[in-house]
Amino acid sequence: MDMTVLLKRVPDLVEDLEVDDSGKALDEDSVSLKLNEFDDHALEEALLLKEGGGGTVTVIALDGEDVDKMLYTALAKGADRALKVMGGDPDGGNQALAGIFVAALDGHGGDLILTGVQAADDRDGQLAPRVGALLGRPCIEVVTEVNPGDGKVTVHKELAGGVVAEYEVDLPAVLGIQAARQTPRYAPVSRVRQIQESATIDTVTSAATEGAGFTVVAMTPPETGEGAQMLDGVDELVKVLDAKGVI
Amino acid sequence: MAEKSSYKTTAERRRTKDQSFVEKEQAVVEGIDISGQWNRMYEPREIQDYDTTYLDKLTDLPGGESMGWCYQCAQCVPACPVDTAGGDYAPRKIFRRLQNGNDFFNHRDLWLCTTCQNCLRVCPKEVDMIQIIPAARALAVLEGNVPDELQEMFQNVAEYGNPMGQSPRKRARWTRKADAAVRVLPKDPAPVEVLWFVGDYYAYHGRGVDAANAMTRVYNRLGVDFGILGADERSDGDSQRLAGEPGLFEELAEHNIAQFRKYQFDKIVVSGPHAYNAIKNEYPKLGGEFPVEHYTQFLSAQMPKLKPLLTRPFTRKVTFHDPCYLGRHNGEYDAPRALLQAVPGIEFTEMYRCKAQGYCCGGGGGGMWLDGYAALHQTERLSENRVKEAVEVGAEVLAVCCPYEVSRFEDAVKSTDNDGKLEVLDIIEILDRCME
Amino acid sequence: MAGDVLVLAEHFGGSLGDITFELLGMGKTLAGEFGGTCTVALIGGSDAMAEELGGADLVLRLGGEELADFNPEPYGEALLAAIEAKAPRVVLIGYTSMGMDLASTLAVKTGRNLASSCIRVEGGERITTTSQLYGGKMDVRSDLGTAPCILSVLAGSAPADAGRHDGAPTVENLDLPATAGRVRFKRFIEPEAGDVDITAQDILVAIGRGIGSKDDIEVAEELAEALDAAVAATRPIVDAGWLPKTRQVGKSGLKVKPKVYLALGVSGAPEHLEGMKGAATIIAVNTDKNAPIFNVAHYGLVEDLFEVCEELTEALEDR
């Protein structure tokens, strides 16, 4: 099975995000970008599928700072090919990004395209179903398990309440991965460095695509409402629990 | 991970091998007739009985050679802290299992060593686990075989430059709560006397921050001209190197060396023995030579200035735990003791296992991030074993000078039901209290 | 019609989900502002479900029993047919597992704008939405202008009661379009029983990423024992295999309403908040004073969760 994994970088939430002077975007100085954790799961699931039943894994991402390292890391983990799209707007939203990826993949992307179920900055829908719709392929989101079959895959989709629905999906298809069957693997730095010496990253120029047809007018940290009453130490916490009659 | 047993049992060997012996019907040696049974010799039992695949795999590794030198004298066994904690361990046992065809690279034996170096101290053959273990782990990590807890640490350090997975930007955040000024060199790059390499635990861990604040107060009272790298500092990398990630170590070391080169300073003073070991012994291999002292060395050298400041008595029974990477690895046993002896009112007691024979806390060589793994394969944690000893010698305070140890020993105090009996303090916290 | 709203009903196991009524309440308000009507698209539903939708001006039924179990392909086609038939100005879809399969797909197929993770929608001449992004750390307001659009709305953004009305709604049937049959529903897999039922607990001790390692869950378990509570968790903890799926609170986990929800090292991502904001009292412990969990918590403590756990466990044991 030939697979493509779409990788997207998102602001790392361990940072204290701040709004810039325009009041409409994140302050770049407060942001560090990292691979969307769900995309990392998508890559892991693809690698597991390849190891289980053969095939190839191509990873694709938009160009940007440290993107090479991210792609080399994916190669070090076992991806076969890395493709970098030059000139795309990383803040253009998923509508634009889906178009860019589909064009860069020449409308193909192999038997199965995988990406993260969602990302922290999804403001105009999710990448997987957008790509699926552009390619006219079936798409399932919130996938936690993929089992290959003959010309199809059987997937587990998480619904609410811990219930999982099982579907059979004809290939080619697109999947939004919630969690891989195992924790995404670690790529030792020495291997990443080694790959960096030997492997190449293919590049392709971004197609011009239409972005979200609406604009952000304001970005603010959430209103805290009344907010939490802050306690000073465990003693006060005990008093609260006592007052609620639970201890 | 299953232990493989492709070798023959002793009984099987006896049946097949012990039958074959040679004896000459006629033999005279130096005029004495030793014909027949008198010259009977058993044929040597051949090591080829065993599957040496994994022994060879290990001894073929650069750094792994000395595993093959073991002659099973077993002096290392009582010296090994892991064996003492019920881990059925020590180089002798590892070698024996390797001889028996055990796949070391997929076996708990690979991960239990804390690289404390106590075995090397007693080994007549110089079987050097400090070389063997990192080499073997590096191969295992490359093969994708690494315990989850450790993998998570690698991931965090690779991504954020600290094992906690905290934002690197927040590395200097602790200074906001410090009640004395801390100069952050990237913001104020003028020459400085001491570049203080704060370290992960002092920067991010709750109890470490206590020590970092204490250090700041002590430096200020002493009038030390010091600065820190702030958000530009990364893990020293030594534990990552010993845990099997040499590439990550190099990346971190290269980063830190580049930061050091930006500033003019007399010396680097580190909070922890692992950073000390890295900067003193490993960074020079990557071209980064800098004068470095552990904080106990730096402060004990200033005794004439320090001692008059220690005015408030600390009338407690105190014992001291030698960090492996300050003591055995780098030969410094006196500096921390000199500081403790300078504390007014202190009653200092040594533990049985101290100085060169000091017992390991279990946190070295990546052990800090293999706690759950180790607990599965030992009857107790090393830190628990050590805490019991501290209680046994009658100590009320266990003084330490390695940032890993405060939380390790505090946990062990609780898990051994010694809560309230033994307090764990960084030496710098004791000094700070005596100055208040 | 230019001022109409279309709401997608969601159902599982024969009954409508809360999200349906939340969206319906929201849709009615919007339709009121537009001077239009609010229609619910009920795909694969039953008569009983239709009767619960008295709050809608119209219930548009597509298919029945044969589509009782969700399948993104026929559901997508059916919803597309509904949109084409009614040409509403706004389509409201839950930002749920089912909704995630549909909203983006329909945005592409209809060429409409789609704003996701909405927690507020303001109607009028232009439509303005507020989306909760960046793990709940930022509210992003977007101007969608006057063009028809699709909005995917986070569960719990509006009260469900506003959408619950008795009375027989007008029902209209719409023929199901043919589908390619490339996706086939096989079965539901229920979570393994036998574990604690966290939805039935008075007190929950919930742990998030702040717990750090699997080994440290013990600390929370000890506290839970002292509180006579159960340990619940966020998705990352369950994904890492540290606790069973039955303990997961949130979008893809369970919804809980205990008397006290003690959140330890839980940052407060929207997906998690969805599952627990109905708790009577929420107490959050986190070292990050800016963690979004403090916005929904009633009480907060900015401290190391391990210290709090231990001190609290001791304090409770001493009582």
3-state secondary structure of A41: helix
Give the tokens for residue C58: 């119209």
Q: Residue B277, Cα to own-chain centre: how many angstroms?
A: 10
Same domain, B113 and B185: no
Residue C191 has a pLDDT of 75
Which of these, B148, B103, B91, B77, lies nearest to B3 by C-alpha position? B103
Q: Does B411 touch chain C (CB under 8 A)?
A: no
Interface test with B, best of A190, A192, A194 (most B CBs within 10 A): A190
Q: Under an 8 A CB cutoff, do C141 and A156 touch? A: no
Residue of B142, B148, B169 with shortest CB distance to A188? B142
Range of the domain at A21: 2-243
**What's the gap in Å between the CA of B375 and the closest CA on chain C?**
10
**Interval A181-195 mean pLDDT:** 93
**What's the gap in Å between the CA of A226 and the closest CA on chain C?**
8
**What's the gap in Å between the CA of C10 and the closest CA on chain A?**
11
Where is pLDDT greater, at C236 or B428?
A: B428
**Interval C312-316 mean pLDDT:** 90
Interface test with B, best of A14, A29, A48 (most B CBs within 10 A): A14
Tokens 């071209």, residue located = B287
**What's the gap in Å between the CA of B282 and the closest CA on chain A?**
17
Residue B325 has a pLDDT of 98
One-letter identity of residue A176: G
In a domain, residue B44? The reply is yes
Range of the domain at B202: 163-300
Q: Under an 8 A CB cutoff, do A222 and C254 touch? A: no
Residue A14 has a pLDDT of 87
pLDDT tens digits along C37-57: 999 999 999 999 999 999 999
CATH number at residue B253: 3.40.50.1860
pLDDT tens digits along B388-415: 999 999 999 999 999 999 989 998 998 8
Q: Does B375 touch chain C (CB under 8 A)?
A: yes
Q: For chain A, what is the domain count?
A: 1
> Of B300, B323, B343, which residue is a domain's last?
B300
Contacts of A32 in chain B (CB under 8 A): 167-169
Residue of A14, A191, A192 with shortest CB distance to B165? A14
pLDDT tens digits along A84-130: 999 988 888 999 999 999 999 987 889 999 999 999 999 999 999 99
**Interval A163-192 mean pLDDT:** 95
Residue of C108, C300, C301 with shortest CB distance to A130? C108
pLDDT less than 70: residues of chain B: 1-19, 44-49
Interface test with B, best of A28, A32, A69, A189 (most B CBs within 10 A): A189
Same domain, B372 and B293: no
pTM of the model: 0.87
In angstroms, rounded to a whole number, what is the distance separating the alpha carbons of residues C78 and C96?
Answer: 18
Q: Is pLDDT above 90 for C214?
A: no
Residue of A17, A178, A229 with shortest CB distance to C299? A229
Q: Yes or no: say if A247 and A239 are a contact pair by the CB < 8 Å rule.
A: no
Residue of B206, B372, B375 with shortest CB distance to C304? B206
Q: Please, which chains are in contact with B (at least 3 CB pairs closer than 8 A)? A: A, C
In angstroms, rounded to a whole number, what is the distance separating the alpha carbons of residues A36 and B346?
Answer: 54
Chain B stretch 245-264, residues whose beta carbon is closer than 8 A to a beta carbon of chain C: none
Q: Is pLDDT above 90 for A227?
A: no
Q: Does C201 touch chain A (CB under 8 A)?
A: no
Same domain, B372 and B284: no
**Three-state SS across chain B?**
CCCCCCCCCHHHHHHHCCCCEECCCCCEECCEECCHHHHCEECCCCHHHCCCHHHHHHHCCCCCHHHHHCCCCCCHHHHCHHHHCCCCCCHHHHHHHHHCCCCHHHCCHHHHCCCCCHHHHHCCCCCCHHHHHHHHHHHHHHCCCCCHHHHHHHHHHHHHCCCCCCCHHHHHCHHHHCCCCCEECCCCCCCEEEEEECCHHHHHCHHHHHHHHHHHHHHHHHCCCEEECHHHCCCCCHHHHHCCCHHHHHHHHHHHHHHHCCCCEEEEEECCHHHHHHHHHHHHHHCCCCCEEEHHHHHHCCHHHHHHHCCCCCCCEEEECCCCCCCCCCCCCHHHHHHHHCCCCCEEECCCCCHHHCCCCCCHHHHHHCHHHHHHHCCCCHHHHHHHHHHHCCCCEEEECCHHHHHHHHHHHHHCCCCCCCEEEEHHHHHHHHHC
What is the predicted ipTM? Answer: 0.92
Q: Under an 8 A CB cutoff, do B149 and C213 touch? A: yes
Residue B6 has a pLDDT of 47
Q: For chain B, what is the domain count?
A: 4
**What's the gap in Å between the CA of B135 and the closest CA on chain A?**
13
Same domain, B139 and B234: no
Residue B44 has a pLDDT of 66
Residue B2 has a pLDDT of 42
Same domain, B288 and B320: no
Residue of C212, C213, C307 with shortest CB distance to B206? C307
Residue of A125, A173, A227 with shortest CB distance to C294? A227
**Interval C135-139 mean pLDDT:** 91
In a domain, residue B7? The reply is no
Interface test with B, best of A186, A192, A195 (most B CBs within 10 A): A186
Q: Under an 8 A CB cutoff, do B414 and C214 touch? A: no
Catalogue all structural domains in chain C, each as residue range(s) with its CATH number: 5-174 (3.40.50.620), 198-318 (3.40.50.1220)
CATH number at residue A70: 3.40.50.620
Interface test with B, best of C215, C217, C219 (most B CBs within 10 A): C215
Q: Under an 8 A CB cutoff, do C214 and B149 touch? A: yes
Same domain, B87 and B113: yes
Q: Under an 8 A CB cutoff, do C132 and A176 touch? A: no
Same domain, B336 and B278: no
Confidence grade of residue A74 (pLDDT, cut at 50, 70, 90): very high
CATH number at residue B76: 1.10.1060.10
Same domain, B210 and B129: no
Q: Does A119 touch chain C (CB under 8 A)?
A: no
Q: Which residues neighbour B49 within 8 Å (Cβ) at sequence distance 6 or greater?
A: B7, B8, B13, B17
In a domain, residue B386? The reply is yes
Same domain, B366 and B425: yes
Q: Under an 8 A CB cutoff, do C213 and B414 touch? A: no
Q: Under an 8 A CB cutoff, do A129 and C103 touch? A: yes
Closest residue of C to B372, CA-based? C215
In a domain, residue B154? The reply is no
Q: Considering only CB atoms, which residues of chain C are within 8 Å of chain B? A: 212-215, 304, 306-307, 310
pLDDT tens digits along C79-100: 999 999 999 999 999 999 999 9
In a domain, residue B157? The reply is no
Q: Yes or no: say if C75 and A140 are a contact pair by the CB < 8 Å rule.
A: no
Same domain, B369 and B419: yes
**What's the gap in Å between the CA of A150 and the closest CA on chain B?**
30
Please give the mean pLDDT across all residues of chain A: 93
Residue B15 has a pLDDT of 47
Q: Which residues neighbour B30 within 8 Å (Cβ) at sequence distance 6 or greater?
A: none
In a domain, residue B199? The reply is yes
**What's the gap in Å between the CA of C275 and the closest CA on chain A?**
9
Chain A stretch 213-242, residues whose beta carbon is closer than 8 A to a beta carbon of chain C: 213-225, 227-231, 233-238, 240-241
> Of B145, B175, B191, which residue is a domain's last?
B145
**What's the gap in Å between the CA of C215 and the closest CA on chain B?**
6
Residue A107 has a pLDDT of 79
Same domain, B235 and B267: yes
Same domain, B122 and B233: no
In a domain, residue B336? The reply is yes
Closest residue of B to C209, CA-based? B165
In a domain, residue B13? The reply is no
Closest residue of C to B165, CA-based? C212
